[in-house]
Amino acid sequence: MESKQRYNHLNQYLKEKFGERTLKICVDGGFSCPNRDGSLSYGGCIYCSEKGSGELIHSASSITEQVKHYFTTYRSQRANKFIVYFQNFTNTYDSVENLKKKYDSALIDNRIVGIAIGTRPDCITKEIAKLLQSYTKKYYVCVELGLQTSNDEIGKKINRCYTSMQFTNAVSILHQYGIDVVAHIMVGLPYETKEDIKNTVDFINLHPLQGVKIHSTYIVQNTVLADMYSKGEYQPLAFEEYIEDLLYILTHLKPNLVIHRVSGDAPKELLIAPSWNLHKKWVLNELDRRLKEQDLWQGKFYESINPS
């Protein structure tokens, strides 16, 4: 078995779905978050920066202008089909009317074949799911739901402000309306144990998901996590630890899930630690090497426990 076949890569999935290479256009929809505006809390999750994971997005006056700008860059020459990705903060946190205006304002080019929405489980309703379903007549629609961990006690400590049950409910609603769901998990959260990682994987396997996005917990400036780190209250995972955790996660996840990523992209100028996070290729290459060396593949141990 070749290394490229040892887990389901997003690039390959999109190529098979759309017949050719398909890339994402990351946009800032100008959203807030109930965890920031005081509805639930202030300041967001303890690892969340001021831009809500949108540091690498080109800042422009409107969503339409951001998409237009993308098509002037060299990246737009690398493919013929694109998915607009509403990335930072909570991209379903608004009225249905405003959501429609924002989503519509991104779908301005016939090369756009899909729309992906990053959001929180507690900001999914049937009305929002109906709106998203309305786009499926013309576009591929996918929702990326933050989970991070299935341990609700850790969820409280990282100021997530939603429960795993709310994640389950959101997946159920989206599934009813035929919307693909990708779960976002973070490895190496404060207070997290190997047992917590195991439980999170088991929890994910219970849901009708299309994919999983995995990355390590990294520390950026001006966050609560940065304060914890400076006080010696938190230590990020070492590179070797993260690879070991990745191997466990991949080999125990359902084999049909699409792996959207195995490494996060921290902005170089804001990253405090760990320094290896800046080297995505290190993670990809070492993961491939270990999978091949140990003859491991996605779902290997899931399949042995759950034979078809």
**Does position 55 have pLDDT exceeding 50, yes or no?**
no
* Look-up of token digits 């270990």: 290
Taking only the tens place, the pLDDT of each residue in 256-282 is: 999 999 998 888 899 999 999 999 999
Instruction: State percent of the chain over pLDDT 90.
Output: 82
Strand partners, 140: 114
Structure tokens at 26: 């990351």
Give the pLDDT confidence score for residue 267 in this predicted structure: 84
Neighbours of 306 (CB within 10 A): 11
Angle at 279 between CA 30 and CA 193, to 5 degrees: 80
Q: Residue 86 phi/psi, 5° resolution?
A: -80, 105
Domain residue ranges of the chain, discontinuous segments joined by +: 3-302
Domain range 3-302, CATH class: alpha beta
> Based on C-alpha coordinates, what's the Rg of the chain?
19
Helix, strand or coil for residue 139?
A: coil
Give the pLDDT confidence score for residue 226 in this predicted structure: 95
Spatial separation of the C-alpha atoms in residues 234 and 256, rounded to whole Å: 35
Neighbours of 21 (CB within 10 A): 13
What does the pLDDT average to over 42-61?
A: 64
Angle at 113 between CA 109 and CA 117, to 5 degrees: 100
Helix, strand or coil for residue 105?
A: helix
**Does position 287 have pLDDT exceeding 50, yes or no?**
yes
Taking only the tens place, the pLDDT of each residue in 206-251 is: 999 999 999 999 999 999 999 999 999 999 999 999 999 999 999 9
Bin 213: left if φ > 0, else alpha if -120 < ψ < 50, else beta.
beta
Neighbours of 194 (CB within 10 A): 11
**Helix H or strand E encompassing 151:** none
Give the pLDDT confidence score for residue 89 in this predicted structure: 87
Give the pLDDT confidence score for residue 113 in this predicted structure: 98
pTM score over 0.85:
yes
Taking only the tens place, the pLDDT of each residue in 83-116 is: 999 998 889 999 999 999 999 999 999 999 999 9
Taking only the tens place, the pLDDT of each residue in 174-206 is: 999 999 999 999 999 999 999 999 999 999 999
**Helix H or strand E encompassing 211:** strand 211-216
Q: Closest Cα partner for 67 from 120, 31, 115, 18?
A: 115
With bands split at pLDDT 50, 70 and 90, how would you rate the model's confidence at 53? very low
Spatial separation of the C-alpha atoms in residues 296 and 3, rounded to whole Å: 9
Share the mean pLDDT of the chain. 92
